[in-house]
């Protein structure tokens, strides 16, 4: 099936939306991040899929708690892949940050991990997001960084 120019344009817009979203998260600019989501959005952190976060009010609380695990200004993101369509976008990201959450030594430790974000887009805003990361690999990265192993 051929892609129309309007579908291709929407795909490019959705790719840009993902980049703006990730940039706002990395800068810890919660207001800018939330402006990219619908009010009734759903966020699912896949290692914890039984606890979806519904609505921007709850997502704000969730993301503020999540971001508190990292020293502000240390989050760096590299894009491995981005695949976008007129209704969704998938981004494969390598994230590096100074982690100060549970298990981190005083002053924190720099860790790196992979994330895949799968977003459904309606009218230029995210309606649902599934964040996939290996929580065991994340914990192992913290352990290795703190023990030097």
**pLDDT confidence bin for 2, thresholds 50/70/90:** low
Sequence spans of domains, the chain = 5-147
Q: Which tokens is 146 given?
A: 């703190």
Report the pLDDT value the prediction gives residue 41, as an integer from 0 to 100: 98
pTM for the whole structure: 0.88
Residue 50, CA distances (Å) to 45, 53, 69, 95, 133 in order? 9, 10, 22, 24, 15
Nearest to 75, CA basis, from 35, 29, 13: 29
Question: Three-state secondary structure along 81-115?
Answer: EEEECCCEEEEEEEEEEEECCCCCCCCCEEEEEEE
Q: Which residue, 5, 37, 7, is CA-closest to 21?
A: 37
Cα 48 to chain centroid, rounded: 14
Across all residues in the chain, what is the average pLDDT? 91
What is the CATH code for 5-147? 3.10.450.50
Confidence (pLDDT) at 15: 97
Among 63-67, 124-128, 136-140, which is the least confidently predicted range? 136-140
């Amino acid at each position: 099936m051929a892609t129309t120019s309007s579908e291709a344009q929407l795909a490019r817009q959705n790719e840009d939306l993902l980049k703006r979203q990730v940039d706002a998260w990395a800068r810890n600019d919660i207001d800018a991040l939330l402006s990219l989501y619908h009010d009734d959005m759903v966020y699912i952190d896949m290692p914890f899929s039984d606890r979806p976060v519904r609505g921007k009010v709850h997502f704000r609380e969730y993301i503020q708690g999540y971001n508190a695990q990292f020293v502000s200004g240390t989050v760096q993101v590299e894009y491995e892949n981005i695949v976008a369509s007129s209704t969704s976008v998938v981004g494969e990201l390598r994230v590096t940050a100074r982690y100060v959450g549970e298990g981190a030594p005083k002053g924190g430790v720099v860790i790196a991990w992979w994330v895949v974000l799968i977003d459904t887009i309606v009218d230029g805003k995210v309606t649902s997001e599934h964040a996939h990361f290996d929580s065991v690999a994340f914990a192992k990265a913290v352990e290795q960084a703190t023990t030097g192993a």
